[in-house]
Structure 1
Amino acid sequence: MTSPSASASTRKALSKIACNRLQKELLEWQVNPPAGFKQKVTDNLQRWIIEVNGAAGTLYANETYQLQVDFPEHYPMEAPQVIFLHPAPLHPHIYSNGHICLDILYDSWSPAMTVSSICISILSMLSSSSAKKRPEDNDRYVRNCRNGRSPKETRWWFHDDKV
């Protein structure tokens, strides 16, 4: 995969397994979407845009953000790339370029996970935050990601299980 803004023509087409899995997940989503999320309907199975509503009673209540989910050729054996579109929420694990430091998107990915389970994990991460602030190394990280570097090319350190 090239950059998050790569057009569909520059990405590898989804495998048959990935297509079947995503069609099944999309159908399940339409029948039973996770609370607080809305998928924007497009004709591109390989890129989903998902609206996230901050949970009531949290720092992000009444705020809406957008996630961009790009599926690799070999999904679900390989994790999708998930980023927040601009403006990304102010959060200790979300960089201003939208990259998310969350282990299930990288090292802890499992093919048993779904788009719904990713969304629920992201909402949980947002909901448990006690402060609206950027990661301490935000400026350096974002500078290093110029030229369209994918968050999947980052070597993340998951040393904080609380926010």
Structure 2
Amino acid sequence: MAPGAQFAAKRLGKELTKISKGLPAGIVLVQGDNFEEWLLDIQVLDSNPLYMGQTYRLKFKFGSSYPIEPPEVVFVKLPDRPIPIHPHIYSNGIICLDLLGQQGWSPVQNVESVCMSLQSMLTGNTKNERPPGDEEFVRGNRLRPKDIDFYYHDNNV
């Protein structure tokens, strides 16, 4: 195992130990039996009518440079787990969130904090819509989520 991969495995082992002691409400580890890919379910716990009663599946893919580099995080569609409709979530599950990009990521972040950020992002949403250009993006994108250079237009001052 390469030194970077050993560091990633050690960090993920610590995160898994912490997660096994409990996660915040609305976050459940579904699968975390390896250090390459984890599945978690999240729910929005407030009364946002857009997401009330829904559970969403997240897939985390970890590279050998984790936590120096962010994990790849996407929503996964299952028969009982839709992809949430949100202005920063494409219909293929790719999430446009600066926290998940190279510029917004910090090694102090972890699986739990990413899930909590996504819960918060959904909680604060009032628009039942996909990002502009969703169909074209989904049809034409061939990049992995971590390789997409999103333009965060609503973060401009």
- Normalized against structure 2, the TM-score is what? 0.88
1:145 maps to which of 128, 134, 141: 141
Contact 1:14-1:46 within 8 A present in 2 as well: no
Structure 2 Cα separation of the partners of residues 33 and 73 of structure 1: 24
1:50-72: CA deviation from partner (whole Å, max 9, x where unpaired): 00112231121210110000001
Secondary structure of 1:140's match? helix
Structure 1 residues 21 and 90: CA distance shift in structure 2, 3 A: same
Gaps of 5+ in 2: none
Secondary structure of 2:154's match? coil
Q: How many residues align?
A: 148
1:93 maps to which of 84, 88, 92: 88
Structure 1 residues 97 and 46: CA distance shift in structure 2, 3 A: same
Is 1:46 paired with 2:40? no
Gaps of 5+ in 1: 1-11
Is 1:70 paired with 2:31? no
How far has the Cα of 1:109 moved from its partner? 0.2
Structure 1 Cα separation of the partners of residues 61 and 3 of structure 2: 12
Is 1:25 paired with 2:15? yes
Is 1:122 paired with 2:118? yes
Secondary structure of 2:153's match? coil
Secondary structure of 1:143's match? helix
How far has the Cα of 1:152 moved from its partner? 1.3
1:70-98: CA deviation from partner (whole Å, max 9, x where unpaired): 00111000100000001311111000000
Secondary structure of 2:19's match? helix
Contact 2:31-2:40 within 8 A present in 1 as well: no
Moved more, 35-44 or 92-101: 35-44
How far has the Cα of 1:34 moved from its partner? 2.2
Is 1:37 paired with 2:27? yes
Is 1:156 paired with 2:150? yes
Structure 1 residues 73 and 88: CA distance shift in structure 2, 3 A: same
- Normalized against structure 1, the TM-score is what? 0.85
CA RMSD, Structure 1 to Structure 2 (Å) = 1.7
Identity %: 39
How far has the Cα of 1:45 moved from its partner? 2.2
The list of structure 1 runs, each at least 4 consecutive aligned residues, that deviate by more than 3 angstroms after superposition, is: none
